[in-house]
Amino acid sequence: MEDALAADDFARLKDWLRSMPRAGHAWLTPERLQRYVQVWRRGLTGALNYYRASPLHPAAESSEATAALRLNAEHFFVGVPTLVLWGMRDESLVPELLDGLEQWVPDVMIERFAAATHWIVHEEPRRVAERVLAFLAPPGLAARPASIS
């Protein structure tokens, strides 16, 4: 898989980035695309292993494998304060995935970004940085404003 994705200077991955639905692509500058290529050249195996290890895959309507899948709920419980920043126009990780999240992450703070997609960190870098800094700031100490260039 790695060789196929790396072929022709990562042509498939570049095409995939350019083809994301409704992403608006203003953030996908030639410089940023080149930065992605630099990272991909360091290796794709780690990123692909995430998907290889996951029992979750897009379901076909009548997938027997999906119907037979049994997951241990204890493996999904998160017991620490958690910040979730979600692009509400994300078509890869759809907003409905947030439904019921509190059951698994009782101390969750969800912030929805109405205009953002899967590429929220590129589309809203200042807001994302500000939210993360504020979340990580010790109680009673205001976070410094984010400096994004």
pLDDT in tens, 37-63: 999 999 999 989 988 887 766 655 566
pLDDT band at 78 (very low <50, low <70, confident <90, very high): very high
Q: What are the extents of the domains in the chain?
A: 1-63, 71-149
pLDDT computed for residue 46 by the predictor: 92
Burial classification of residue 143, based on how many CB atoms lie within 10 Å of its CB (0-12 exposed, 13-18 middle, 19 or more buried) = middle
Determine the 3-state secondary structure of 111 from DSSP.
strand
Residue 110 has pLDDT above 80, yes or no: yes
pLDDT band at 120 (very low <50, low <70, confident <90, very high): very high
Please state the pTM of the whole predicted model. 0.74
Q: How far are the Cα atoms of 27, 47, 55, 74, 121 from residue 51, in angstroms, in the given order?
A: 25, 7, 8, 21, 21
pLDDT computed for residue 94 by the predictor: 87
Residue 91 has pLDDT above 80, yes or no: yes
